[in-house]
């Protein structure tokens, strides 16, 4: 449980919203953003290689995230020129596409995220019609063959299906356009793939759930055997959330409900218990699934959107709503409350950002409070909000740092995107007291 003494009520709301405006004002100026992000020391090392947090065409680290931020601010603080600032970032997207093209259909590094950003600024499709239609045409041209390639693969990888790079990552933008025939057709085909993914398959002579991930022989830490990812970002919880949100949006195909029941029951069967209560693991090893041997299971646990109980529990709650199963909603709520029963240091999250940080936990907690009405979640939500507000740093180039690891050493870097950057924090801050207008929750598969 968080031990925080801070602002409450209107005082907390004002401080959070004032910080959001300060963040957006920094983001409004391309020169400020460029100088902060492209500083020569603003990198992290991974296996001896420098990685800079700038990918212009990605929702995770680039212009599309800025478009979403400016669109939300245009609704939040009207007549302040936010949409004009957003227009500059749309032009940046156009220029980058003309120079480098689009090499992914995904939400976080490709076309789906670009469409999300531009649609956010389109005033319900009344602006950027030509550009949006060009992007849609490109998606319709490319996705059938790409989906066929995925379905023909013998070995399953996380990026084939997941919420970050896989087919689940395209579902959010398709739901935004769900009234259009091209989007309906694509949703049916992608859901059909996800239903197929849920069917058992034979691996090494043993029948196992279809979401069994092949061992990666090039990775030193993946282990010699296949495994099962339970997380929201890269695992089967994300698939469950995507199917559940489609169901809530009235998109249903044969086998979808059965697949949701199967995944939900499987996740429930692998819950674990400690002195704080129930929790969802991140990874299930081959030995645990096949031989019921947990001796080689990964014990590391994080309480975040990407991995751990909060993300998986949110997926379970959404499935419970779609399937009218109170047992799923009950275990989801229990897992959330158990997370808040722990000392905060056991969460294993340190950054104010969304993916594996406090903003993601805050947004999830707020949504769960809205849906369940559980008063403990409201209290913990406000504590989280106070914590993030207190992490605001006026001296930081963009107001907050991403607390990351550079070859296992902690390092603070400037990151602007939705996944691990300032935009994700800004969107979370202004989503507590008003409903988002851009459907950005769909990028994370946490709400429709």
Closest-CA residue to 427 (of 117, 212, 128, 48): 117
pLDDT at 297 over 90: no
User: What local confidence, expressed as pLDDT, does residue 327 receive?
Assistant: 99
Question: From residue 179, how far is each of 135, 190, 223, 254, 341 by CA, in Å?
Answer: 17, 16, 44, 20, 43
Query: What percent of the chain clears pLDDT 90, i.e. is strictly above it?
Result: 87
User: What local confidence, expressed as pLDDT, does residue 35 receive?
Assistant: 86
**Mode of pairing for the β-strands spanning 283-285 and 402-406:** unpaired
User: What local confidence, expressed as pLDDT, does residue 407 receive?
Assistant: 85
User: What local confidence, expressed as pLDDT, does residue 299 receive?
Assistant: 72
d(CA 108, CA 131): 19
What DSSP state is assigned to residue 346? G
d(CA 69, CA 82): 9
For CA atoms 171, 172, 174, 175, the dihedral sign is positive
270 annotated as ligand-binding? no
d(CA 424, CA 363): 10
Average pLDDT value over all residues in the chain? 94
pTM of full prediction above 0.85: yes
Confidence grade of residue 406 (pLDDT, cut at 50, 70, 90): confident
User: Which tens digits make up the pLDDT trace of 110-157?
Assistant: 999 999 999 999 999 999 999 999 999 999 999 999 999 999 998 999
The residue-averaged pLDDT of 411-417 equals 95
The residue-averaged pLDDT of 225-254 equals 97
pLDDT at 224 over 90: no
Confidence grade of residue 397 (pLDDT, cut at 50, 70, 90): very high
Question: From residue 405, how far is each of 46, 51, 144, 254, 396 by CA, in Å?
Answer: 9, 11, 38, 44, 18
d(CA 20, CA 73): 9
User: Which tens digits make up the pLDDT trace of 305-319?
Assistant: 999 999 999 999 999
d(CA 261, CA 378): 29
67 annotated as ligand-binding? no
pLDDT at 219 over 90: no
d(CA 105, CA 112): 6
- Burial class for 318, CB neighbours closer than 10 Å (0-12, 13-18, 19+): buried
User: What local confidence, expressed as pLDDT, does residue 2 receive?
Assistant: 57
User: What local confidence, expressed as pLDDT, does residue 342 receive?
Assistant: 96
User: What local confidence, expressed as pLDDT, does residue 222 receive?
Assistant: 42
User: 169-193 burial, b for 16+ CB within 10 Å, e for fewer?
Assistant: bbbbbbbbbbeeeebeebbebbbbb
Six-digit token pair at 361? 């936990």
Confidence grade of residue 246 (pLDDT, cut at 50, 70, 90): very high
pLDDT at 220 over 50: no
The residue-averaged pLDDT of 185-203 equals 98
pLDDT at 185 over 60: yes
Q: In the chain, what are the domain boundaries?
A: 157-348
User: What local confidence, expressed as pLDDT, does residue 8 receive?
Assistant: 75
d(CA 52, CA 72): 26
Q: Which residues contact 318 (CB under 8 A, 6 or more apart)?
A: 240, 241, 244, 245, 248, 446
The residue-averaged pLDDT of 81-105 equals 97
In DSSP terms, 229 is beta-bridged to 283
User: What local confidence, expressed as pLDDT, does residue 80 receive?
Assistant: 85
Question: From residue 198, how far is each of 210, 237, 311, 350 by CA, in Å?
Answer: 5, 12, 19, 34
Give the up-direction half-sphere exposure of residue 309: CA atoms within 13 A in the CB hemisphere. 27
Confidence grade of residue 343 (pLDDT, cut at 50, 70, 90): very high
Class of domain 157-348: mainly alpha
pLDDT at 56 over 90: yes
Q: Which residues contact 136 (CB under 8 A, 6 or more apart)?
A: 115, 177, 182
356 annotated as ligand-binding? yes
Helices 168-176 and 111-120: crossing angle, nearest 10°? 30
Closest-CA residue to 196 (of 265, 264, 254, 139): 254
Query: What percent of the chain clears pLDDT 70, i.e. is strictly above it?
Result: 96
Question: From residue 117, how far is each of 19, 111, 120, 133 by CA, in Å?
Answer: 22, 10, 5, 14
pLDDT at 296 over 90: no
pLDDT at 5 over 70: no
User: What local confidence, expressed as pLDDT, does residue 4 receive?
Assistant: 55
Identify the helix (H) or strand (E) that includes residue 206: strand 206-208
- Contact indicator for 374, 368 with CB cutoff of 8 Å: yes
The mean-pLDDT minimum among 61-75, 336-350, 396-410 falls in 396-410
Give the up-direction half-sphere exposure of residue 182: CA atoms within 13 A in the CB hemisphere. 14
User: What local confidence, expressed as pLDDT, does residue 221 receive?
Assistant: 46
Residues in the chain, overall count: 448
Q: Which residues contact 19 (CB under 8 A, 6 or more apart)?
A: 389, 392, 399, 429
């Amino acid at each position: 449980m968080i031990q925080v003494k801070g602002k409450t009520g209107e005082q907390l709301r004002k401080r959070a919203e004032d910080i959001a405006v300060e963040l957006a004002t920094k983001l409004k100026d391309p020169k400020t953003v460029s100088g902060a992000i492209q500083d020569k020391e603003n990198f992290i090392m991974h296996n001896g290689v420098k990685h800079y947090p700038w990918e212009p065409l990605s929702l995770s680290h680039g212009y599309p995230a800025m478009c979403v931020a400016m669109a939300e601010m245009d609704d939040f603080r009207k007549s302040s020129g936010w949409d004009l600032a957003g227009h500059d970032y749309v032009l940046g997207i156009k220029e980058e596409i003309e120079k480098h093209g689009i090499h992914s259909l995904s939400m976080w590094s490709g076309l789906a995220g670009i469409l999300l950003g531009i649609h956010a600024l389109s005033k319900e499709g009344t602006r950027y019609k030509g550009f949006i239609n060009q992007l849609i045409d490109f998606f319709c041209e490319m996705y059938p063959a790409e989906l066929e390639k995925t379905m023909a693969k013998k070995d399953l990888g996380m990026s084939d299906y997941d919420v970050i790079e896989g087919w689940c990552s395209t579902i959010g933008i398709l739901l935004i356009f769900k009234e259009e025939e091209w989007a309906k057709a694509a949703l049916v085909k992608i859901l059909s793939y996800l239903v197929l993914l849920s069917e058992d398959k034979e691996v090494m002579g043993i029948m196992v759930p279809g979401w069994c991930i092949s061992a990666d022989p090039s990775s030193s830490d993946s282990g010699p055997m296949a495994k099962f990812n339970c997380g929201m970002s890269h695992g089967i919880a994300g698939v469950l959330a995507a199917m559940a949100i489609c169901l809530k949006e009235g998109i249903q195909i044969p086998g979808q409900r059965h697949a949701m029941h199967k995944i939900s029951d499987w996740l429930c069967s692998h819950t674990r218990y400690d002195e704080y209560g129930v929790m969802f693991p991140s990874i299930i090893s081959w030995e645990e699934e096949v031989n019921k041997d947990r001796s080689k299971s990964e014990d590391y646990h994080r309480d975040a959107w990407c991995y751990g109980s909060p993300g998986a529990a949110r997926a379970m709650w959404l499935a419970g709503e779609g399937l009218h199963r109170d047992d799923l909603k009950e275990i989801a709520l229990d897992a959330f409350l158990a997370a808040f029963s722990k000392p905060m240091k056991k969460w294993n999250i340190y950054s104010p950002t969304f993916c594996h940080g406090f903003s993601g936990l805050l947004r999830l907690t707020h949504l769960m409070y809205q849906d369940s009405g559980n008063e403990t979640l409201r209290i913990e939500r406000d504590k989280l909000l106070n914590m993030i507000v207190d992490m605001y740093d006026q001296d930081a180039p963009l107001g907050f740092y991403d607390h990351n690891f550079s070859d296992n050493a902690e390092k603070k870097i400037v990151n602007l995107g939705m996944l691990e950057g300032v935009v994700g924090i800004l969107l979370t801050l202004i989503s507590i007291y008003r409903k988002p207008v851009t459907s950005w929750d769909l990028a994370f598969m946490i709400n429709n």
